[in-house]
Amino acid sequence: MDPLQMACTGPRKKRARQMDTSMGSTQDIKFQDLVLFILEKKMGTTRRAFLMELARRKGFRVENELSDSVTHIVAENNSGSDVLEWLQVQKIKASSQLELLDVSWLIECMGAGKLVEITGKHQLVSIMVRGDCPASHDSSPQKTESAAVQKISQYACQRRTTLNNHNHIFTDAFEILAENCEFRENEGSYVTYMRAASVLKSLPFSIISMKDTEGIPCLADKVKCVIEEIIEDGESSEVKAVLNDERYKSFKLFTSVFGVGLKTAEKWFRLGFRTLSGIMNDKTLKLTHMQKAGFLYYEDLVSCVTRAEAEAVGVLVKEAVWAFLPDAIVTMTGGFRRGKKVGHDVDFLITSPEATEEQEQQLLHKVITFWEKEGLLLYCDLYESTFEKLKMPSRKVDALDHFQKCFLILKLHRECVDDGTSSQLQGKTWKAIRVDLVVCPYECRAFALLGWTGSPQFERDLRRYATHERKMMLDNHALYDKTKRKFLSADSEEDIFAHLGLDYIEPWERNA
C-alpha cells in the first residue's frame, strides 16, 4: 500500500508500534518556515505517530509537544471549537498566527510533495465570541486574522461562500422550510430560515454535533431545534410534514410554471386545482401570455440550463448585440457568474461606453426584432427604463431596478451547444431557454453588475450592511453616503466593496 493511501485509511497497528516518533528531528527539513503539531484528540496515538513519522519523512518539522514555535496545528475529526477548547484546557492562548488545519491539508501536501495552498476547506473555523457579531469597521476578519480567531459575521457579504457546501443536509431542509413560509407569506420566518441556510453554506466544516453550532450567528432557537433533530434522527419531522403538505406541494408545482407567482398559485389552489393538467384542461381559466408560454415550454424550462447551454446563449447574445452596438460590453451575470454549473435562466448585463441614450434605448428592440426574424424568439416581455439619475437608492432590500430589461424565452438549437450532449434535447433539435437581458448606463455598470450577480441572499445582506453598518444606501444603480450626503461613484465591483469598507468577495464566493 502506498504510504499516502495509508495516511488516508489509517495505519496497521503492528507497524505503527515499531515507529520511533522522535527520529524526525534528524531528517532533512524541506519546509523551514512551518512547525507542525499533530493533535492526538479524536485521532488516537497510533495514527498520530504514523502521521508524524510520515510528515517528517516528507520534510516537515513536526514537534512532539505543543510549543511556542508551532505554527500549524493539524487535527482530524475535530471542529475549530474542539481544537480551541483543547487549547484552553492546555492553558494555551490561540494566537492569530496559529493555523488550525484539518489533516486533509497535510495529506494533500505530502501527496503533492509541496505546500498546498490553505483554503477554506482546510481551515478549522472557530468562533471566539458568541452571538451575532457587530460588523467590524476596520475591514473584515477573513483576511487579517487566522481562522483560529475568526468570527463569523451575521452578514453574508462578510463571509466567503463557495459552492462547496459542507452542510447540505441542513441547508436543504431550511430552504424547504423557507419556501413554505414564502408560500404562506410569512416573511419573518422566511428570512430566519434563509439566513440560517446562508450562514451554514459558508462554513468550511460539517456540523456534526450541537457544539459545532455554538457562536454561529443567525441560528434562532427554532433553527437549532431542526438542526438537533437532523443530527439525531437524520431528518426533520417538520420538513417531512411540509413536503407532504397539500398546499406546499401545489404551490411548488404551480410556481414552477414561468409566469406564475404567489397570487396565481393561491387562486388556483383555492379553486381546488392540484395538477398542471387540471389547469391546462380548464377552459374557464384566463392565462396571461407569460403563463401560456410557461405551459407551452414547460418541460424545457423546468429542466435546468447547463453551462454549455448558457455559453451557447452567450454567443447568440453577443452576436446580436454587437451587430448593432459593436463596443457594447456583454457580461453573463446571475448564478453562472458565481460558477454554478446549472441555472434556471441565463442573465446578461449589457452596457456601452460610447452609445448615446437613444442608441442605448434602441438596442434591445433591435436585438429582439433580429431574433424574431431568425425564428429564435419564443417569448418576449420588454420593460422600458424608468431610471433617473441622482435618484436616492431604494430602501427596500428586494426592490427591482429601473433599467431597461427583457425577459425572454429563446430557441437554442442543438448544434449551437458545444458539448452536444445536452440531455434535454433528446429527440428535439432545440430547447427553450429563459434569458434575461438588462441594459444599464455605463456609469452604473459596477452597481448593476454587483446587483445582478447575486446570490439574492448576498445582495440582501449587502444592502442591509450598507444601511445598518455604514449609513449608506445601496441598490443596483448607485451608492449614497448619508453622512457625507453624496453619491459614491464606482468603476468596478472592487470600488463598491472598498466604499463599504468590506474585503472584496469574488463572485464565486457569493453563493450565500
Taking the least distance from each CB to ligand DCT, the nearer of 11 and 451 is 451
C-alpha cell at 241: 410534514
Q: Which does 134 bind (CB under 5 to 8 A by kind): Mg ion, ligand DCT, none?
A: none
Contact indicator for 369, 458 with CB cutoff of 8 Å? no
CA distance 305 to 299: 12
459 touches ligand DCT by CB under 6 A? yes
CA Rg value for the chain: 27
Taking residues 323 to 362 in sequence order and writing x for each that binds ligand DCT by CB under 6 A, - otherwise, the string is -----------xx----x--xxx-x---------------
Q: Tell me the closest approach of the beta carbon of residue 107 to ligand DCT, in angstroms.
A: 34
Q: Tell me the closest approach of the beta carbon of residue 265 to Mg ion, in angstroms.
A: 21
Q: Distance of CA 459 to CAs 250, 393, 450, 455, Å?
A: 29, 14, 8, 6
Q: Tell me the closest approach of the beta carbon of residue 412 to ligand DCT, in angstroms.
A: 16
* Closest among 448, 478, 454, 483 to 350, alpha carbons compared: 448
Q: At what angle do helices 445-453 and 456-470 cross, to 10 degrees?
A: 120
Binding segment for Mg ion (CB under 5 A), chosen from 96-104, 343-351, 444-452, 476-484, is 343-351
* Identity of residue 171: T
Query: Does residue 327 sit in helix, strand or coil?
Result: coil
Among 334, 393, 441, 507, binds Mg ion (CB under 5 A): 334
Q: Tell me the closest approach of the beta carbon of residue 179 to Mg ion, in angstroms.
A: 17
Taking the least distance from each CB to ligand DCT, the nearer of 151 and 340 is 340
59 touches Mg ion by CB under 5 A? no
- Phi and psi at residue 29, to the nearest 5°: -100, 120
- Phi and psi at residue 169, to the nearest 5°: -55, -35
Q: Tell me the closest approach of the beta carbon of residue 352 to ligand DCT, in angstroms.
A: 21
Binding segment for ligand DCT (CB under 6 A), chosen from 22-30, 57-65, 453-461, 491-499, is 453-461
C-alpha cell at 7: 495516511
CA distance 83 to 161: 23
* Identity of residue 345: D
C-alpha cell at 34: 512551518
Q: Which does 459 bind (CB under 5 to 8 A by kind): Mg ion, ligand DCT, none?
A: ligand DCT
* Closest among 2, 86, 89, 3 to 37, alpha carbons compared: 86
CB burial of residue 323 (10 Å; 0-12, 13-18, 19+): exposed
Nearest 5°: CA angle at 256, between 297 and 509? Answer: 105
Q: Which does 294 bind (CB under 5 to 8 A by kind): ligand DCT, Mg ion, none?
A: none
Q: Which does 454 bind (CB under 5 to 8 A by kind): Mg ion, ligand DCT, none?
A: ligand DCT
Taking the least distance from each CB to Mg ion, the nearer of 106 and 437 is 437
347 touches Mg ion by CB under 5 A? yes
Q: Tell me the closest approach of the beta carbon of residue 133 to ligand DCT, in angstroms.
A: 24
Taking the least distance from each CB to ligand DCT, the nearer of 188 and 234 is 188
Q: Which residues contact 248 (CB under 8 A, 6 or more apart)?
A: 179, 180, 183, 242
Taking the least distance from each CB to Mg ion, the nearer of 313 and 466 is 313
261 touches ligand DCT by CB under 6 A? no
Give per-residue burial for 85-94: e unless 16+ CB within 10 Å, then b. bbbeeeebeb
Taking the least distance from each CB to Mg ion, the nearer of 4 and 290 is 290
| Residues contacting ligand DCT: total by CB under 6 A | 14
Sign of the C-alpha dihedral computed for residues 154, 155, 160 and 163 taken in this order: positive
Q: Tell me the closest approach of the beta carbon of residue 334 to ligand DCT, in angstroms.
A: 3
Q: Which residues have a catalytic role annotated?
A: 345, 347, 436
Q: Tell me the closest approach of the beta carbon of residue 502 to Mg ion, in angstroms.
A: 24
Among 278, 353, 375, 456, binds ligand DCT (CB under 6 A): 456
Q: Tell me the closest approach of the beta carbon of residue 511 to Mg ion, in angstroms.
A: 13
Binding segment for Mg ion (CB under 5 A), chosen from 61-69, 247-255, 335-343, 355-363, is 335-343
Among 20, 65, 233, 398, binds ligand DCT (CB under 6 A): 398
Taking the least distance from each CB to ligand DCT, the nearer of 110 and 380 is 380
Q: Which residues contact 343 (CB under 8 A, 6 or more apart)?
A: 304, 305, 310, 334, 335, 336
Taking the least distance from each CB to ligand DCT, the nearer of 79 and 165 is 165
| Residues contacting Mg ion: total by CB under 5 A | 5
345 touches Mg ion by CB under 5 A? yes
Q: Distance of CA 223 to CAs 14, 152, 185, 306, Å?
A: 46, 17, 19, 33
510 touches ligand DCT by CB under 6 A? no
Binding interface with ligand DCT (CB under 6 A): 334-335, 340, 343-345, 347, 398, 451-452, 454-456, 459
Binding interface with Mg ion (CB under 5 A): 334-335, 343, 345, 347
